[in-house]
Every structure is written in C-alpha cells, then in structure tokens.
Amino acid sequence: MMYDYLIVGAGLFGATFAYRASRQGKRCLVIDKRPHLGGNVYCEQVEGINVHKYGAHIFHTSNQEVWQFVNHIVPFNRYTNSPVANYQGRLYNLPFNMNTFYQMWGVITPDEAQRMIEAQKQEAQHQLNGGEPSNLEEQALTLVGRDIYEKLIKGYTEKQWGRPCKELPAFIIKRLPVRMVFDNNYFNDSYQGIPIGGYNKLIDGLLEGVETRTNTDFFADRNYWEGVAEKIVFTGKIDEFFDYRFGQLEYRTVNFEQQTLDTPNYQGNAVVNYTEAQVPYTRIIEHKHFEMFGQQVYDVPRTVISREYSMEWKPGMEPYYPINDERNNQLAEQYRQLAHDCPNVIFGGRLAEYRYYDMAPIVEKVLKMKIE
C-alpha cells in the first residue's frame, strides 16, 4: 500500500481529515474529479473579487475550538450575514425581527408585533380544528401567520424544493426564528465570518504538504484506487459507492447565472432573497460584500452577481441538498447500514451521509474523529 488514507473528495471534510491525518504522520492522497480543490467552497477570482462558485458559504459556529482551528489556518473577517427579502419590489429584513414587522405592518413596539402574529396564528390553529399540522403550509401558518407566510416563505420555499408547500412535510419548518428585537444578524452563533482572501486560502492551508490530484474520478478506475491505501475516506454519494443497490437517492441542485456588471455596488448586500413565486430565481448573491466593506466596495469599480435557480437533480449535475422526505430517509438508512459493514471506509459529509451539514459541524466532526 502506497498510502495510509485515500481521501476521495477535496472538499471541507476531506481537506480537514487530510490535515489532521498528515500531522499524525499518515501518508495521505486526496483525489477529486473536479479540476480544482475545495469542493463546494471553491472560489474563483473575477475582477479582483472572490466568487463563491457553488453558492454562498458563510462560516458560523459557537464552538470556540472550531473557530480557533480555522483561524489558525487562515484569519477570518467580520462578515455578518444579514440577508434581505425582496417581495414584489418591497424589502424585508431577515430573519423575522422587529425591522421585518415594521416593514410588514408598520408596528413599532414588540407588543404590537406580538399581537399581530398571535392573531394570525390563532386563525391558523382554528382552521386545523385541534389537529396537528400535516404539511409545511399548515405548520408555517401556525408559527408565524398568513402575512409572513404568504410574502416571505411560500414562494421561496416552493422554488427551493420544487413542490407546493402543501405537499412538503411539516417537519421541514418545525422552527422559525421570530425575534422581538431590531436585530438583522441571521445567525445566533458566537462567531461568523469569511476567510480573508477567500475559501481557497483555507483549503490550501489544510492541504499544505498533502499529495493531491484533481481531474481524477474514483469510479473511473475503482479497482485501482481501492488498492492504493489501507483505508478510504469517501465524501461522494453514498448510493453511488454501493452501485445504487437499493435505488437512487434524490437531491436538489442549484444552477448559477453569473454576471459581471459595470457598477461598484449592485444591491448593497451580499444576499437578497426573492420570495415571490413569479421570480424564477431564489436569490441574488453579490460576492464582493462578503469581503469588502465601506469604501472598499467602491475601490473595485465592477461587481459580480450570481442568480441562483433551484432545481431537481439529474445525473450529470452537481448534487447539493438531500431531500429529507420519508422515502429518501428510509433509502439512505439502508445505505448507512451497508456503510457500517465497511470497516476500512470512512463515510463523511453531506453526500456520503445523506444529511444536511453546515461547514462548522463538518470541521467539528473531523476534529473529534479518532485517526488510526
């Protein structure tokens, strides 16, 4: 065996594992079928701007160990995620807070806002006649009422999942943050930010001194790759690893329409969600706002935006989000049982575990792993 670990996939899980294993003296090889390292956190430089090629990635955590670890690799900036929702040309702050309620109803005190929400929640609960919500629409109406649901949840959610809210399970939206304060910070975590210089700096730091190969597909010569290392760390699709034995898992994917514009500041914010169903894209990302603040925005004369279109995944597309409905969850559990019987393979990440993960929990999971 030439290596202790073959790591299939150079995303955050694979790169963090390679960092830890190599520093314990393990011989690691990281391969990725894409032409670059970094997986979905990869950034491309356009007009001096780090463009998040596979969608916005905002690192946030309350775990001090995780925060110190990533900042040890590359310092992070002070970016605070404060998205805005655009509904029929009117703007609303997210998450739902006193700014949102003022924009929605003109209320200026928490008591006024609470009364508006409670009245609409009671109406929704009355419609259920004592029953439990059976779908996402009913669940949302009982949590925040009709006005917020119709303007800020319904259209966006249906675009994201490609299904009417009445056909989506209630558990998808069991909790909705409602803040009775004027606070537009989307996350409740203690720490958040973007690596200074972009996510490529983080990945390059994690993989420094580790052998890597891009444009290399594990499945194109599986027999060879399974023979080069004592153990495999697999971060691809778990159903593909087992040759789709029980059938294919389903995913949502995202198509990005990127534009470079002759203006230094297109929308004044990194993230603007478009929540009405008639607008085909879910949001517009203006990438420079992740790393440029104040006058820095105008020091770079052009800007880059990406419109995001959510759609059903098909073979040949990049899978992004697992679809956590009953059918897929049962199928995924069958594959996880097969994974338990593979002592020399470590399955990690969104695709290999068929679970939705933010970045920080991925890092935390790898930091807790015992590497032998």
Active-site residue identified among 112, 217, 358, 364: 358
Specify whether 252 is catalytic: yes
Specify whether 336 is catalytic: no
Specify whether 179 is catalytic: yes
Q: Alpha-carbon distance 125 to 117, whole Å?
A: 12
DSSP state of 101: H
DSSP per-residue codes, 291-305:
T--TTHHHHS--EEE
Active-site residue identified among 3, 79, 92, 283: 283
Query: Beta-strand (E) ranges in 39-104?
Result: 43-46, 49-52, 59-61, 84-87, 90-93
End-to-end, the C-alpha distance of the chain in Å comes to: 16
Active-site residue identified among 20, 27, 163, 252: 252
3-state secondary structure of 186: coil
Whole-Å CA distances, 214 to 25, 170, 211: 23, 41, 10
Specify whether 111 is catalytic: no
Active-site residue identified among 79, 179, 186, 239: 179
Active-site residue identified among 308, 335, 350, 354: 308
Please report which helix (H) or strand (E) contains residue 339, including its range: helix 326-340
Helix-strand-coil percent breakdown of the chain, rounded to 5?
A: 40, 20, 40
Q: Alpha-carbon distance 298 to 288, whole Å?
A: 10
Q: Alpha-carbon distance 219 to 233, whole Å?
A: 14
Specify whether 23 is catalytic: no
Q: Alpha-carbon distance 134 to 167, whole Å?
A: 9
Q: Alpha-carbon distance 321 to 20, whole Å?
A: 27
Specify whether 354 is catalytic: no
Q: How many CB atoms lie within 10 A of CB 180?
A: 15
Specify whether 27 is catalytic: no
Active-site residue identified among 23, 118, 167, 356: 356
Query: Would you name the residues annotated as active-site residues?
Result: 175, 179, 252, 283, 308, 356, 358
